[in-house]
Amino acid sequence: MDRIFYPNGVAVIGASDRPDNLGANIVANLLEFDYRGDIYAVGLREGQVHGIPILTSVEALPDGVDLAVILTPAATVPDLMEACGKKGIRRAVIESGGFSEFSEEGRELEEQVCEAASRWGMRFVGPNCISVVNMENGLCLPFVPFERRSFKRGPVSVLAQSGGISITYLLMLSEAGLGVNKVVSIGNKANLDEVDYLSFLLQDPGTEVIILYLESIEEGRRLIELAATSPKPVIVHKTNISRASAEVAFSHTGALANDDVIVTAALRQSRIARAASFSDAVRLAQGFTLPPVRGRNLVVLSRTGGHAVVAADAAEENNFRLMPISEDVLDDVRSLLRADVITLTNPLDLGAIFDFSLYGRIVEKCLNVLDPDAVLVVHTYNSGAETESSHRLAQQLGELARTLYRPVAFCPFAPRSEIELLQREMGYPIFTEVEAAVRALAASRERSARPSRLFPLPPPPNRRPHEIEKLLSRDGVLTTDTALGLCAAYSIPVAEWTVVDSVEGALVAAAGMEYPVVLKALSPDVTHKTDVGGVALNVDGPQMLREAFATLMGHLETRAPDAQVGGVLVQRMLSGGREVILGGKRDPSFGPMIMFGSGGVRAEVFQDIAFRLAPLMRESASEMIAEVRGSRILRGVRGERPADVEAVVEVLLALSRLMVECPEVSEIDVNPLLVFEEGATAVDARAIIKLAALPNT
């Protein structure tokens, strides 16, 4: 990857002296940004492009060129990659479009490009991308013309799945005063993907914060495992949000596990900040370039009372505590006031102090005496007489943050031109909204205070008990008895049950487990038993059982005449517990996921659910339960005794082990799980087995 971002020489293939030639723009950008290596141009005809001679073949290039940038019609690219390989060029950026994103013929061309790269041991960016920028050495390869003065070098690197968005971030981060270090547009990811680039950026000395713009995540598990172990903050701006499938899902878990729910859960579990928009990503990056926020204690200083109120609301919304101001600090502030006309609380209203240099003194006093986790300074001023002293204040706050290594967020309100000047000059984050500043501080706090809850995904065991192997031996839908048997094999408590094939068998089974009982039809062809009348609840006696059995079988004959019925499950009827739902789903990108949700309709109708990647830590299981609003019923409300939350934690951990050790399980529901004052019991379950998803099958 070094030779992509730090090449000693670059050959631009597809250059000409025509005014509208895009390859010429690449050469111009390299010159504009003072690229430090050698620049070569290759085209169809001899000539010059911005003073660089045009060679008419790759073979005419000198030896030792590290990087080829190809911008020619798609059909010519495979042969050009072959020529580069023969010439000894081992890295390329393919900016041309017209490949797999365009047509089936384009997909075949892309495969030819990959074959040529494989033959010669080449790695390449793209195709179909705007390319690479490295502000450290002036490597600027986009095919649109740039002006160097519009961009600023800084600590943030951007990895984007869209070329246009990579440029948007380049501009926005520069305008915000942060600047960028490296930018790469990854295009079709035919050779190098987001994991490859992220691996490089996490080790790159010039990169301190990373923004990833992604429309799809194919290697989700690898991506988050890599980011979770990184000391560098990672921000993900994920778009293209949709349901994983338009089809009706088999299980509640499958229905609830749309792409965005999974992505959000995975990012949160691995301490990756998720941005809601371009501006949100920039403000998060600003927050991460400050010293880390370690806790909830916040001190706010404001020049106006109104802005102080806005800051107080934002602090509460982001779970900050406006800590009390000690008398020592208040005495110091009082001594600086012209008149005792305001009440000194937190937020501190400094409107009666007109010497802005004293603001810095007060901030320093707060940091040293109160030891807050963060300080927010909201400062309004007019251009003109107050400009110079306001700039000195910004510099003073930046110096305090650096020397004391404490997060001090500065949010000035002034004419737009003034704010832009501050952002260009300070080399320190300048926030333009109070809410944005507090949001950024909160993201820093979450990253600092919340450890990663992500275990690496282990390989499935080589051997499993024969009982489990037998349960998972066939593709398709598991009937309730088999699904409950699988749960029991993983130590999930299940309600007592027996499978019968006649009403006489049902009578014997019910007598053995005592009434009342439940009857459930067993059929792999019936996904939702209640929809076809395949369940009879609270059957309380032999006569009632005979009637319920006959009714149940009659419903199946009329409502599901083609269903294959494998018997009837007779189960002890449990009552008194509090209902919750648990589930597992195997996501194609992130792997096994575990779900917890409110019982009844709340999980699906109100999306009252929580997801985590398996394998679960105990802390993650507890967090999942606390995250679901409906879980309050487990802790006891209106005089009820609390239910056994720890029993639910144990079931979640058991379900996690099941999903990790049984890659055949595509989806599973435990619904409902009844939670009692002591213990929890699964009364129904269903699952899908997909043997075709296993390796080497």
DSSP code string of 405-470: T--EEEEEE--HHHHHHHHHHHSS-B-S-HHHHHHHHHHHHHHHHS-------PPPPS---HHHHH
- Structure confidence by residue, pLDDT tens digits, 270-293: 889 999 999 999 999 999 999 999
Helix orientation angle between 357-369 and 387-404, rounded to the nearest 10 degrees: 20
Look at residue 694 in the predicted model and tell me its pLDDT: 60
Look at residue 400 in the predicted model and tell me its pLDDT: 95
Is 578-693 a CATH 3.30.470.20 domain? yes
- Write phi, then psi, for 651 (nearest 5 degrees): -70, -40
220 contacts: CB under 8 Å, gap ≥ 6:
262, 263, 266, 587, 589, 590, 591
The class level of CATH for 2-240 reads alpha beta
Whether 578-693 and 496-572 are alike in CATH topology: the answer is no
Predicted TM-score (pTM) of this structure = 0.88
- Structure confidence by residue, pLDDT tens digits, 175-198: 999 999 999 999 999 999 999 999
465: left (phi over 0), alpha (psi -120 to 50) or beta: beta
Contact 422, 412 (CB under 8 A): yes
Contact 130, 143 (CB under 8 A): yes
Look at residue 603 in the predicted model and tell me its pLDDT: 61
Look at residue 437 in the predicted model and tell me its pLDDT: 97
Q: How far apart are the C-alpha atoms of 121 and 424, rounded to whole Å?
A: 43
DSSP code string of 520-553: EE--TT-S-GGGGT-EEEEE-SHHHHHHHHHHHH
Tell me which CATH code domain 291-449 carries.
Answer: 3.40.50.261
Q: Judging by DSSP bridges, how do beta strands 91-94 and 123-125 pair with one another?
A: parallel
Q: How far apart are the C-alpha atoms of 594 and 659, rounded to whole Å?
A: 8
Q: How far apart are the C-alpha atoms of 142 and 147, rounded to whole Å?
A: 12
**Helix (H) / strand (E) containing 497:** strand 497-500
Regions of the chain short of the pLDDT cut 50: 243-257, 339, 341, 696-697
**CA dihedral angle for residue 521, residue 525, residue 527, residue 531, rounded to 10 degrees:** -60
∠ CA 265-643-485, rounded to 5°: 70
With CA atoms as reference, report the closest residue to 41 among 59, 23, 29. 23
562: left (phi over 0), alpha (psi -120 to 50) or beta: alpha
Q: What is the identity of the amino acid at 565?
A: V
The class level of CATH for 496-572 reads alpha beta
Domain boundaries, the chain: 2-240, 291-449, 496-572, 578-693
